[in-house]
Structure 1
Amino acid sequence: MKAKETTLQQQEQLLHRENSELTQHLASAKREIETLNGEKTALQREQHSLKQQLTQRESEVWRLNGEISSLQQSLRQLGTQLEQEKLGLSRALESQTQESADVQWRLQQQLTLKEEALGNEVRDHSETRAALRHAQLAVDEAREENRRLRESQRPAEVDDHWRVSRDEVVILNEGMLGTGAWGYVAKGEFRGKRVAVKCLHMEIVASQTLQRVHRE
């Protein structure tokens, strides 16, 4: 009986030790489970935080993509506007160039017309002056002819005491006092005195003309 009791006691002790070991293992397993649960919770929190960050990054990416699309659209619009402005400036420059050429052509035409008109006026003026000279010559000739006729109607008295030698007259180079159809009047000296000297034009000097001057 004692042997059985001893055996039972030993078995009970063994069971008690095994139960204690199992209890310790169970407690250790619970602690490990709690630790794993804590790590799981931390991982879940980290995963949630990462999801939030990912969502924020995706939102930021969407926002940046929208801004990029808007910038690209603005750049396309700006490029189109620049092309239109470039085309407008090119057309305006061509128009201004054409207008400048037209203005230059019109100015050249006006200048040509004015030069022609000026040439015509110069020719008309020259012709008028020539006509006036011819008319003055005709008037002078008519007056001389009239005077000659009057002189021919009365006896001529010739007196040569007033005639002087050409060598006694010095014509001064101080300009003319006057001019006419037959000649001109210049400043001169005669026997030390200042006098007015009437000189005939070379192209009309003739014996008949000299006789008329002598009669004057």
Structure 2
Amino acid sequence: MLCLACVCVAWVLSHRRQQQQLDVVSAVADRDFADITETLEGTQRDLEAAQAINRVYVEETRHLADARLGAVLELARDTPGVTLPGLAHPDLAGGVLAGVHGELLDKVAAGIRAIREDMSGTTLTTIRHALAEPQSRLVRLLHQIDAELAVHKDRPEAVASLMRIDPHASASLHGLQRLRILCGETPGVQRSTSQILDMVEAARGRIQAHD
């Protein structure tokens, strides 16, 4: 009888220990589950925040392509009344994305200016070269008029005829010279030494209605 009682007591004690162990395991499992749930909820919040930031970045980049780049092109063309739009999301100002977009716009504008300057330089060079030949011909014509005046100085009719032609040729030459000056070149005939009387005499033939 005593042995049976001992067995019963031992079984009860063993059952209690097992129950206590189960309670401990259950408590740990509940705590771990709560931690996992909290972690998952935090991850979900982080994911939603990242998705919101991504949407803002996509919208800002679309605004850059649709509005801001077009305005930079128009400003580079000197289109009146055009202003550069700001950020679609002003709260991005001072951030990395705003800085990158600003650098991109600056580089696009600088590139357009460089292209325009290159094109302008090429165009001006072409014009200068195109005007060189007619300018040389007009210079030779004026020299020929001077030579003919010297040859026919005793023939008033010939002198009068040449003097009527001279101002028109001179005006045409001056027009070409002005165009070449506008194209960045100083044209004209340069002489190292000239007598003042020769200069005055030559100028008389370049003035319309000088007599």
Q: TM-score range by the shorter chain?
A: 0.3 to 0.5
- TM-score of the aligned structures, taking structure 2 as reference length: 0.43
Structure showing greater Rg:
1
Greater fraction of residues in strand: 1
Relative contact order (alpha carbons < 8 A, sep ≥ 6): 1 or 2 greater?
Answer: 2
- TM-score of the aligned structures, taking structure 1 as reference length: 0.42
